[in-house]
Structure 1
Amino acid sequence: MKSLFPPALNPNLNPSPLPAWSRIKIRITSRSFAAGAALLLLGALAAEAAAPVKIRLATLAPKDTSPHKSLQQMGESWRKATGDQVQLTIFTDGTMGGEADMVRRMRIGQIQAAMLTVPGLTQIEDSVGGLQFLPMMFRSLDEFDYVFEKLRPGLEKKFRDKGFEVLSWGDLGWVRLFSRQPGRRIDDYRKMKVFVWSGDARSADVMRALRVNPVPAEQTDVLPGLQTGLFDMVPSVPIYALAGQFYGPASHMLEINWVPLVGATIVSKKSWDATPADKRPVLMQAAAEAGKQVRAQGRKESDEAVAAMVKRGLKVIKPTPEDIADWVRFADEAHPTIRGKLISAEMFDQIAKLVKEYRAQAK
């Protein structure tokens, strides 16, 4: 039986091949689509490559102090060196929380970098605590510098292994003891409530080892805490005491070399690796210069801050050699409690060895 459909419309017959001009058109269209997709992909990749690396950095440093200004200069150097491809935003005055909060924020990507002191740094690497959790260990800043430079390469490797790049190190000189009542020897301070940073369990344990009563609080609580009697004494570098106006209620400062206030500026390795590889040496150099500036300016400004606070009523108590010997003796007695518990025995012994080595050379 013949089909009722004409050949061109008969569904039972194989369709006739497309005319040649149609096949050419399809091939051209396919190629055009592929080329367009490739161009779009390349454009997206180029846009991604051109997107600036944005680094949010937090610090407890007060606004307009030398640490803050050094970070600003570092950020400007980064911007110029990379043609705006690395952009730094700085959050001062603990606006991102305490140092433990800053480390937590870095780990979850809310911020990418921080300028931290040792209590914050130990949230990442315990061994760095040896630089600041040994009261009266160092007699001079030259002695501290010698010990630190010997330890620095090993510490930086430990941070790198834990996912952080150390951009620079710095310090602000000696921590002094600011108190509401005058004090000269350790027994005077055992009657006082002493501020320690909230989350800084090691500093609190060091105070307990010295049989002093620690009271944890945030930096923003220092001034009102002193005013209300929440605590009676604050260990602080003079530049922070001046900026925070601690010298008002805590109008007595014992001039002893308690511990150096050591810090480092660190960045997550993920963010660091996102910066242009060919620019990293320049970025690192700018960061190192910032660290040197913090150290030089911080030590100088600490002395200037004391003079400024004296004009505003601060009373400086200068300990006698006998007073200092009393402090050293009690600190030495606390070392067995600190060694192997608050600071690893290996790090403690290494520091003690380097201190002894420096003093032997200095004779």
Structure 2
Amino acid sequence: TAIGRRGMARWNQMLAERTEGRLQVRMYWGGSMGDERTMVRRMRIGSLDAASLTSTGLSVIYRPVLVMQVPGIFSSYAQVDAVRREIGPELARALEGEGYGLLGWGDAGRVRLFSQEPIRRPTDLRRMRPWVPRTDAVFRQMLSVVGANGVPLGVGEVFGGLRTGMIDAAPGTALAVAGLQWFTSLQYATAQSDGFLVGGMVIRQSFLDQLSAADRAALFEIAAANHERFLQQTRRADERAFTALTRHGIQPVDVEPHRAEWQSVADQTRQRLAGRVFPRELLRRVEAIAERAR
């Protein structure tokens, strides 16, 4: 995205000054390094040093990170921030234990259901062919609760899948749907959202071990400062993107009259994942923190 490219240019300028040109970040945009599972595999073999991943991608490294992506907990960014402040450090330590340093947390907008027919209640998904990201255990479980069947595809296959009719609905943020041009094959989007696309940037510990203490400190300090700036810009951009999509013909669908049904599906989804994908106690803590921040 334009925000991302500007942010990386600023990041590189600061890195060059602090490390006298020893450290620079080269980004590969637009999914050119493959899907998230492929990016993690590339890091493991050393052909990539770092990657910006959603919770789904981070879960390939440490599965319990998916607790940040479950439905029905987050209705505001304040709740996301509160949970990350309390739970984030221990998730970062767990990722470190798997061989990856966390350069910063991020999010990329509100997750909505975009579709070719209106989705008002969960059971509407039963007559549709929604896209399921290949590594996304959460949405797959949600569809199972509803009794719907999803179509697993890589992100790069979604555009073609929508065009050919292989899929007719997709979860996503307004930023992603606009940036990846999916909106050209979609007509509707849920007006409300009870989840956010949460993630973070990780870097191979084996790469960090090659750096001097001063360069490593510079990398983490500059990354932290830029991630916070990028976070705020992205949140605003996602809101603008949704407004722009509605002007380009995407019709918002009010799901509030069926709120109880959506909440029931979300609750069942979380309970099915608890104890299997993430510890039940971790889920309880996340729910309690989010409730306090409501």
Q: Same fold (TM over 0.5)?
A: yes
Asked if 1:238 corresponds to 2:174, the answer is yes
Instruction: Provide, for residues 267-320 of structure 1, a one-character-per-residue CA deviation record: whole Å limited to 9, x for no partner.
Output: 001111222311322221211122112211111011111121122211112333
> Is the 8 Å Cα contact of residues 210 and 334 (structure 1) preserved in structure 2?
no
> Is the 8 Å Cα contact of residues 79 and 86 (structure 1) preserved in structure 2?
yes
Instruction: Provide, for residues 21-71 of structure 1, a one-character-per-residue CA deviation record: whole Å limited to 9, x for no partner.
Output: xxxxxxxxxxxxxxxxxxxxxxxxxxxxxxxxxxxxxxxxxxx33234323
Task: Pick which of 72-81 and 118-127 moved more.
Answer: 72-81
**What fraction of aligned residue pairs are identical, expressed as a percent?**
28
Asked if 1:80 corresponds to 2:5, the answer is no
| Cα distance change, pair 316–158 in 1 and its aligned pair in 2 (3 A) | same
> Is the 8 Å Cα contact of residues 104 and 223 (structure 2) preserved in structure 1?
yes
* Structure 1 partner of 2:284: 349
Q: Select the structure of larger CA radius of gyration.
A: 1
Aligned 1:106-255 pairs, distance under 5 A = 106-132=43-69, 134-255=70-191
* Structure 2 partner of 1:70: 7
* Structure 2 partner of 1:48: none
Tell me how large the CA RMSD over aligned residues is: 1.7
Asked if 1:324 corresponds to 2:259, the answer is yes
Matching residue within 287, 291, 299 for 2:227: 291
Letter in 2 for 1:95: S
Q: Matched residue pairs, number?
A: 294
Cα distance in 1, alignment partners of residues 139 and 246 from structure 2: 28
Asked if 1:94 corresponds to 2:51, the answer is no
SS in 2 for 1:196: strand
Give unpaired runs (5+ residues) of structure 2: none
> Is the 8 Å Cα contact of residues 175 and 238 (structure 2) preserved in structure 1?
yes
Give unpaired runs (5+ residues) of structure 1: 1-63
Instruction: Provide, for residues 126-152 of structure 1, a one-character-per-residue CA deviation record: whole Å limited to 9, x for no partner.
Output: 1111000x1122222212211121101
| Cα distance change, pair 260–319 in 1 and its aligned pair in 2 (3 A) | same
SS in 1 for 2:91: helix
Q: Per-residue deviation at 1:245? A: 1.5
SS in 2 for 1:257: coil
> Is the 8 Å Cα contact of residues 171 and 294 (structure 1) preserved in structure 2?
no
Asked if 1:333 corresponds to 2:268, the answer is yes
